[in-house]
Amino acid sequence: MPRVKRGVTSHKKHKKILHRTEGHWGARHRLIKTARESMIKALAYSYRDRRTKKRDFRTLWITRINAASRLYGMPYRDLIHGLSLAGVKVDRKIMADLAVTDLKAFGALVKTARAALDAKATVTA
């Protein structure tokens, strides 16, 4: 059996790792062993944070909606409850965008929610 030299294969694997760790600080993008560890950690973080990003955005949207609804004198929980009573199906992403870009349209949503809450209060009273 002929002898196989593995220099080409090793260099290709090392180059691939070093290419993936471009932009990492210090030895993390220069030395193979450190770069491999850095790459594995970075891939784990990216996998985890693709899921965390969804949570973070929902939190941001709720914060924006709450701030805008309080301008109209209604807390977030009452706004969401009123909209569900009124049967309005607007997701939080769209509501947050309205709160930032079109406050007048957001005010119409708040009025709808307030009317639904008032209607429920008169029925139960």
Q: Look up the pTM and report it.
A: 0.79
Helices (H) and strands (E) in the chain, counts: 5, 0
Arithmetic mean of pLDDT over the chain: 95
Q: What is the pLDDT of residue 4?
A: 86
Q: pLDDT band for 123, please (50, 70, 90 cuts).
A: confident
How far apart CA 59 and CA 44 sit, in angstroms, is 23
Tens of pLDDT, residues 27-78: 999 999 999 999 999 999 999 999 999 999 999 999 999 999 999 999 999 9
How far apart CA 61 and CA 99 sit, in angstroms, is 9
| Residue 108 Cα distances to 18, 46, 99, angstroms | 55, 40, 11
Task: Show Cβ contacts of residue 27 under 8 Å, excluding neighbours closer than 6 positions.
Answer: 34, 35
Domain 7-124 in CATH 1.10.1900.20: yes
**Taking the domains of the chain in order of start, what are their residue ranges?**
7-124
Tens of pLDDT, residues 74-116: 999 999 999 999 999 999 999 999 999 999 999 999 999 999 9
Which DSSP state fits 10? H
